[in-house]
């Protein structure tokens, strides 16, 4: 019963409301089935900017939890939903960067990045309209941001917001960040798995 009440309260908050962080702190304690129903864009009738911002806030908190086995996977549905909502891309990129700063050394990040590369390749191979071109560009932004933040090279930018909001900044940092990241032991093993076609 309490889960249903907490779930029902979600509609009462904007993601930037002063009490939203307290709501998120409470909501992340709910069972997964309620969290999925509340935050999964794939089960909504319509993906709106308002609901997406709420979802990103809650899913980011779940990803940052110490008990999260594969933290970045919590962001996947929000990333997919944001691919065609250009107005929300900066907000989602900033949340991704914040999560990645908190779980920079997690052993599953390599696998997540490889899966993201596969998704980018699939979208690029199936490009048939403007939406898929927009989606591939956003997914590339996510990948480049991931490399920059996971390598720690975001510290060379003015701020995390600057890296998240500025494609130019990300692109300037990307080559060195990628080399640095692939030099790390847990990342060096994936160089043979990456194939650009």
Judge contact between 159 and 129, C-beta under 8 A. no
Residue 68, classified by CB atoms within 10 Å of its CB into exposed (0-12), middle (13-18) or buried (19+), is middle
Instruction: Enter the tokens of residue 45.
Output: 């009738």
What's the CA gap between 38 and 29, in Å, rounded? 13
Say what the alpha-carbon torsion angle 26, 29, 34, 36 is, to the nearest 10 degrees.
Answer: 100
Q: What is the DSSP letter of 103?
A: T
What pLDDT score was predicted for residue 195? 52
What is the per-residue pLDDT across 81-113, written as a single tens digit (0 to 9) for each?
Answer: 998 888 899 999 999 999 999 999 888 998 999
What is this structure's pTM? 0.89
pLDDT digits (tens, 9 = 90+) for 10-61: 888 888 888 989 999 999 998 888 889 899 998 888 889 999 999 999 999 9
């Amino acid at each position: 019963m309490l889960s249903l009440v907490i779930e029902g309260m979600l509609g009462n908050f904007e993601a930037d409301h002063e009490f939203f962080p307290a709501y998120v702190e409470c909501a992340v304690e709910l069972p997964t089935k309620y969290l999925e129903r509340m935050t999964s864009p794939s089960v909504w009738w319509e993906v709106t900017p308002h609901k997406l911002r709420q979802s990103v806030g809650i899913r980011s908190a779940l990803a940052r939890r110490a008990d999260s086995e594969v933290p970045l996977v919590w962001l996947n549905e929000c990333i997919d939903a944001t691919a065609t909502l250009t107005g929300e891309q900066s907000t989602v990129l900033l949340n991704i960067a914040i999560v990645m700063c908190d779980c920079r050394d997690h052993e599953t990040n390599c696998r997540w990045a490889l899966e993201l590369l596969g998704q980018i390749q699939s979208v690029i191979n199936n490009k048939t309209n403007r939406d898929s071109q927009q989606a591939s560009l956003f997914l590339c932004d996510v990948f480049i941001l991931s490399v920059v933040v996971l390598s720690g090279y975001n510290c060379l930018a003015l701020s995390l917001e600057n890296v998240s909001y500025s494609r130019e900044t990300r692109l300037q940092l990307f080559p060195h960040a990628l080399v640095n990241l692939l030099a790390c032991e847990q990342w060096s093993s994936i160089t043979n798995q990456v194939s650009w076609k």
